[in-house]
Amino acid sequence: MREIVFDTETTGLDPKSGDRMVEIGCVEMVGRVSTGNTFHAYYNPERDMPSEAEAVHGLSSAFLSAKPVFSESVDDLLAFLGEAPLVAHNAGFDFGFLNAELERLARPPISLDRMVDTVALARKKHPGAKNSLDALCTRYGIDRSHRVKHGALLDAELLAQVYVELKGGRQIGLELAVDSTRSPAPKPQTRQSEIDRRVERPRREPRPHVASAEELARHAKFVAELKDAIWTR
Beta-bridge partners for 33: 30
Q: What is the mean pLDDT of residues 206-215?
A: 75
pLDDT tops 60 at residue 174: no
Check residue 198 and give its pLDDT: 52
87 vs 147 pLDDT, higher one: 87
Q: pLDDT higher for 169 or 149? A: 169
pLDDT band at 101 (very low <50, low <70, confident <90, very high): very high
**Residue 226 vs residue 42, higher pLDDT:** 42
Beta strands in the chain, from DSSP E residues, in sequence order: 2-10, 21-30, 33-42, 86-88, 115-117
Q: pLDDT tier at 221 (50, 70, 90 boundaries)?
A: confident
Q: Given a cut of 80, is residue 150 above it in pLDDT?
A: no
Out of 25-29, 44-48, 153-157, 168-172, pick the least confident.
Answer: 168-172
pLDDT at 79 over 80: yes
Instruction: Reply yes or no on whether the pLDDT at 115 is more than 90.
Output: yes
* pLDDT reported for residue 180: 42
Count the alpha carbons within 13 Å of 141 in the hemisphere toward its beta carbon. 2
Q: What is the pLDDT of residues 15-37, one digit of tens each?
A: 999 999 999 999 999 999 999 99
| Lowest mean pLDDT, pick from 37-51, 105-119, 198-212 | 198-212
* 146 classed as catalytic: no
CA 114/CA 195 separation, integer angstroms: 64
Q: Which domains does the chain have, with CATH numbers?
A: 2-166 (3.30.420.10)
**CA-to-CA separations, 49 to 7, 43, 58, in angstroms, rounded:** 18, 12, 10
Q: Which of 89, 146, 150, 209 is catalytic?
A: 150
Q: Is the dihedral of CA 22, 28, 32, 36 positive or negative?
A: negative
- As a whole number of angstroms, the distance between CA 168 and CA 130 comes to 19
pLDDT of 208 > 50? The answer is yes
The conformational region for residue 210 under phi > 0 = left, psi -120 to 50 = alpha, else beta, is beta
In 117-229, which ranges are continuous DSSP H helix?
A: 118-125, 133-139, 152-166, 192-200, 213-224
- Residue 4 neighbours by CB under 8 Å, 6+ apart: 26, 27, 28, 29, 80, 81, 82, 84, 85, 86, 87
Q: Check pLDDT > 90 for residue 142.
A: yes
